[in-house]
Structure 1
Amino acid sequence: MSVFNYLDRSLLGLALPLIKREFGSSDTVLGLVSGMAFVLLYSLIGLPIAWLADRANRRNIVAAGLAFWSLMTIATGYVSSILQLAAARLLLGAGEAAALPPANSIIADLFPKSRRPLAMAIFGTANSIAFIALFPLAGWIAQHYGWRTMFIAMGLPGLVLAPVLLLAVREPARTIASPPRLEGSARAVMRGIAELFRNRCYVWLFVGVTLMGANVWAAGAWTPTFFTRVHGMSLGEVAGIVGPVRGVVSAAGILFGGLLIDRISASRPAWQILIPALACMTAGPAEALLLLGESRPVWFVGLAAASFFTLIHQGPIYAAVTHVVRVDQRALAIAMILLGASFLGNAIGPTAVGLINDALQPRLGDAAIRYSMLLIAVTPLLAGLCMVFAARNYEA
């Protein structure tokens, strides 16, 4: 499920050069469609879905979301205008909102507190698997059969997987004796959110993950376009290099971080957050090397290093969130973290890169994207600082 969750949202970034050629849209519009159009419903609907997941069958919620977002991926292949593309992207986000909060809540019930960072790190490798196994295939389909066929082909497997998920996965017993009742209101959700933000550690984690969201979403949306404009690569070449490198190396980074944190002494819990903080701070210079490097060996090292360090934070930070909130608020807490990483992260991610790129392009031409994307080198440094502040409150 999670593999297709990451894959389907990433396909538009791969197709942007072809879509720009067909629809003639500006980079600002493409940034809005790839970013804000997706996260608007993804973030807002994620909150009531997470509230429901704390009270109802989480497996059923995930399966329903998988079927719906797969349909929207297929529908993207049939759009005939930029407005229809934005609508399909909007609904794709609504479906994908049903994935990560319930899934992380399930994992929290399946594993004890000491093993959750590693369990969630392994779950986080779904993003890497998508890049390794399916991103090159998607690029090959787009190059030889068109971007529309790519969306249709990548959406079909999710429709098959949704009923399999219902039949093969059981809803685990919750670690809380009696879950909250299903009855409630929007006011109850808002009270829960207000309680979360009275937790100082949670606030710093929220801001840090939001800044990393800006990095991840901007890189996902614009890296293929960067390589086609600056280095003259075809979509097939981009998918064949970026997909496997990001997939294999980021999986290694995620697992390395999870294993390292899994071995931290219980007497030094702050390092469960300090290690992700150091990883984020290292990812920033690596992104700059990728963007500013002229020769292939130089930018390839930057790509590999950024891929290794960028996602180390996800599993440990999600696990830390489940440790610092009440058991009956886990899904809601994760949903708010995703709202920051997705909605707010996109506001300063793909859209900002598109705006800056349009402003610089008259003077710098195709090279403008090299400098507008330096945003993804700054945000990890700031995110790391936020996580350092969170670590100071985590032990308490």
Structure 2
Amino acid sequence: MNDAASSPARASAYSYYVVVLLMLAYMLSLMDRVMLGFLIEPVRHELGLSDTQIGLLLGFGFVLFYSILGVPLGAMADRGNRRNLMVGGILVWSLATAGTAFAAGFAGLLLARTLVGAGEATLSPGAVSTIGDRFPRERVGFALSLYSLGGAFGIGVAMAVGGYLVEWTSALSWAVPALGIELSGWRLVFLIVGLAGVPFAVLMLATMREAPRRGERKEHPPLSAVIDHMARHKLAFAGLLLGFGMQVLSTYVPMLWAAAHFQRAFAMSPLQLGLAFTLIFGVATGVGVLIGGAINDMAMRRGISDAPARLVFWGIPLQLPFVWLAFVSGEPSFALWMLGFQILFASLYGGLQGAMVQVLTPSTMHGRMMGIYLFSVTVVGMGVGPLVTGALSQHGFSGNGALGLAMAATMTLALVLAALMLTVARRAMRECADEVARSA
């Protein structure tokens, strides 16, 4: 049985339910992932942390296990029960987020962030593989874009809930004498947000069935075969891993640092930021993801096999002007509008990451290739980006606008490098995608 023969002719209503469930899981993961970025200022002041330390927590603290575990968890997604893998991951990252509330300093925060990363590393390999097996090839891009909406909703909800909870919990406290700390403010926010994932894990376990695999009778190739496939198409995968990775940086830097910038530059309160960022990161990201997914599917139906890479490339010049307008403006309302447009164009790539992995690799390699992809782009986009931004803010610029300048400089360099990489690799990516399509 080949992949084409085992591919579903059409997606069932239950398949869309699974996508919605996975979208909600992604929403929870993004809430737990970015909440620290929204709470930088109270955490930094209470624990006496520098911008460089915050950059490490936002970036490599999370990326450490998230990236290292991506490949073995991708192999588990290719061979084992993906639902159970994701349920276990949800429980780990939710309890780790709740545990952040008890951190007494930098080391405790770092440990909690690494465990959040370890849990979240299970989600995308399992989700992308599951969606690929439940939808026909020409609908996968749209389905993955729906899944990616969880990121938009997660960020938006994180900002809205974070702003409200900071205000609400400021008058509450819970003493923990054994640890010598008092849970209030940002600590209670982490506790509440983290524990919300536990009942959701139970829901997924009870209602989500494991998807039948395409090409189930095929032997799953070893990791060495995945590496050989990448080596035969090295330029195509350089474009995927490095070109897309630099683009990812342009969304993670504002996602994790923008709240601190607007608090420092304009003295905006958490509640004000929560309302504004809900629209920017929720609505703008959601619109961008849906537009990108719809255009990608139309292009794929017309036989443009490298459509995801083309869309990512053309999103770069569209967002570059707004990067600087958003972070060097001295007027907060204008800056927020410009940030919204930058996020809109940056989000075109949302569901296209998984779509590009799908078109460049045979279905029996999807889980492991997604793990390798996540390793690369999280190290570049979420590891390097926030750390470089924090270091530039602390050592490269000065004044209330230092963080904004650091963000704009980091994002501009990354986007220029992404455009160059995708330009060089474009033909190779198209040839690799065509070869995979012919062999399916």
Mapped to 1, the partners of 2:350 and 2:370 lie a distance apart of 11
Q: Which of 346, 350, 360 is the equivalent residue of 1:310? A: 346
Aligned to 1:367: 401
Aligned to 1:4: 28
**Does the C-alpha gap of structure 1 residues 59 and 331 become closer, same or farther in structure 2, counting only changes over 3 Å?**
same
Deviation per CA, 1:307-328: give whole Å up to 9, x if none: 1111211312321211111221
Mapped to 2, the partners of 1:30 and 1:20 lie a distance apart of 8
Q: Which of 179, 182, 201 is the equivalent residue of 1:162? A: 201
The answer as to 2:186 corresponding to 1:151 is no
Q: CA deviation at 1:135?
A: 2.4
The answer as to 2:282 corresponding to 1:259 is no
**Does the C-alpha gap of structure 1 residues 128 and 77 become closer, same or farther in structure 2, counting only changes over 3 Å?**
same
Q: CA deviation at 1:23?
A: 0.9
Q: CA deviation at 1:353?
A: 0.8
Mapped to 2, the partners of 1:365 and 1:197 lie a distance apart of 47
The answer as to 2:76 corresponding to 1:42 is no
Mapped to 2, the partners of 1:2 and 1:23 lie a distance apart of 29
Mapped to 1, the partners of 2:329 and 2:224 lie a distance apart of 46
The answer as to 2:228 corresponding to 1:175 is no
Aligned to 1:142: 166
Mapped to 2, the partners of 1:82 and 1:197 lie a distance apart of 40
Q: Which residue identity does 2:239 align to in structure 1?
A: W
Q: CA deviation at 1:197?
A: 4.1
Q: Which residue identity does 1:274 align to in structure 2?
A: R
Aligned to 2:285: 250
Deviation per CA, 1:186-207: give whole Å up to 9, x if none: xx54663353243232221111
Do 1:280 and 1:313's aligned partners in 2 also have CA atoms closer than 8 Å?
Answer: no
Q: Which residue identity does 2:123 align to in structure 1?
A: A
Q: Count the aligned residue pairs.
A: 389
Give the 5 Å matches for 1:66-85: 66-85=90-109
Q: CA deviation at 1:273?
A: 2.2
Do 1:276 and 1:312's aligned partners in 2 also have CA atoms closer than 8 Å?
Answer: yes
Q: Which residue identity does 1:343 align to in structure 2?
A: V
Aligned to 2:55: 31
Q: CA deviation at 1:154?
A: 0.7
Aligned to 1:106: 130
The answer as to 2:305 corresponding to 1:269 is yes
SS of 2:400's equivalent in the other structure is: helix
Mapped to 1, the partners of 2:339 and 2:298 lie a distance apart of 28
Do 2:250 and 2:415's aligned partners in 1 also have CA atoms closer than 8 Å?
Answer: yes
The answer as to 2:320 corresponding to 1:284 is yes
| TM-score, normalised with respect to structure 2 | 0.84
Do 2:308 and 2:349's aligned partners in 1 also have CA atoms closer than 8 Å?
Answer: no
**Does the C-alpha gap of structure 1 residues 116 and 390 become closer, same or farther in structure 2, counting only changes over 3 Å?**
farther
Deviation per CA, 1:161-215: give whole Å up to 9, x if none: 111101111111111132546xx9xxx5466335324323222111112112322
Do 2:63 and 2:383's aligned partners in 1 also have CA atoms closer than 8 Å?
Answer: no
The answer as to 2:422 corresponding to 1:383 is no
User: Identity of counterpart residues, as a percentage?
Assistant: 25
**Does the C-alpha gap of structure 1 residues 346 and 317 become closer, same or farther in structure 2, counting only changes over 3 Å?**
closer
Mapped to 2, the partners of 1:114 and 1:389 lie a distance apart of 26
SS of 2:380's equivalent in the other structure is: helix
SS of 1:177's equivalent in the other structure is: coil
| TM-score, normalised with respect to structure 1 | 0.93
Mapped to 2, the partners of 1:9 and 1:255 lie a distance apart of 22
The answer as to 2:157 corresponding to 1:118 is no
Q: CA deviation at 1:336?
A: 1.3
Question: Which stretches of structure 1, 4 residues or longer, exceed 6 Å deviation after superposition?
Answer: none
Mapped to 2, the partners of 1:371 and 1:60 lie a distance apart of 44
**Does the C-alpha gap of structure 1 residues 180 and 65 become closer, same or farther in structure 2, counting only changes over 3 Å?**
farther
SS of 1:164's equivalent in the other structure is: helix
Q: Which residue identity does 2:213 align to in structure 1?
A: R
The answer as to 2:359 corresponding to 1:335 is no
Do 1:139 and 1:239's aligned partners in 2 also have CA atoms closer than 8 Å?
Answer: yes
Do 1:42 and 1:96's aligned partners in 2 also have CA atoms closer than 8 Å?
Answer: yes
Q: CA deviation at 1:118?
A: 1.1
Mapped to 2, the partners of 1:270 and 1:212 lie a distance apart of 17
Do 2:253 and 2:385's aligned partners in 1 also have CA atoms closer than 8 Å?
Answer: yes
Q: CA deviation at 1:67?
A: 0.8
RMSD: 1.8
Farther off after superposition, 203-212 or 98-107: 203-212
Mind listing any 5+ residue stretches in structure 1 that lack a counterpart?
none
Q: CA deviation at 1:49?
A: 0.6
Mapped to 2, the partners of 1:230 and 1:268 lie a distance apart of 45
Farther off after superposition, 343-352 or 154-163: 343-352
Mapped to 1, the partners of 2:65 and 2:308 lie a distance apart of 32
